[in-house]
Amino acid sequence: MNHRTQKLHAQQVLELLAHGLAQPIALPRETIEEALRAAIMNGRLEPGERLTQQAIANAFQVSRMPVREALRSLET
């Protein structure tokens, strides 16, 4: 999968994760963390697939702060 295809795939996965979960209100870090963890565990996000904090924030319609917190929690 080339870089552009990976970026498109990642964006599509993020939109699917956020769809139905988010209204234009802030979601808690836990919701974002759970959605990303589930996508990783069930293979919707492939190993090495790059996700930017901004892309995740845009998909969930939140600021980057809860995204950073969710990613930090997933790293541990």
**In contact, 66 and 27? CB cutoff 8 Å:** yes
**For 55-66, how does the pLDDT look when each residue is reduced to its tens digit (9 = 90+)?**
999 998 889 999
Q: For residue 72, what pLDDT is reported?
A: 96
Q: How far apart are CA 64 and CA 8, in angstroms?
A: 20
Structure tokens at 13: 């996965």
Q: For residue 26, what pLDDT is reported?
A: 47
Q: How far apart are CA 16 and CA 19, in angstroms?
A: 5
Q: Which residues contact 46 (CB under 8 A, 6 or more apart)?
A: 1, 6, 9
> What is the pTM assigned to this prediction?
0.67
The domains of the chain, with CATH numbers, are 3-75 (1.10.10.10)
**For 21-45, how does the pLDDT look when each residue is reduced to its tens digit (9 = 90+)?**
655 554 579 999 999 999 999 999 8
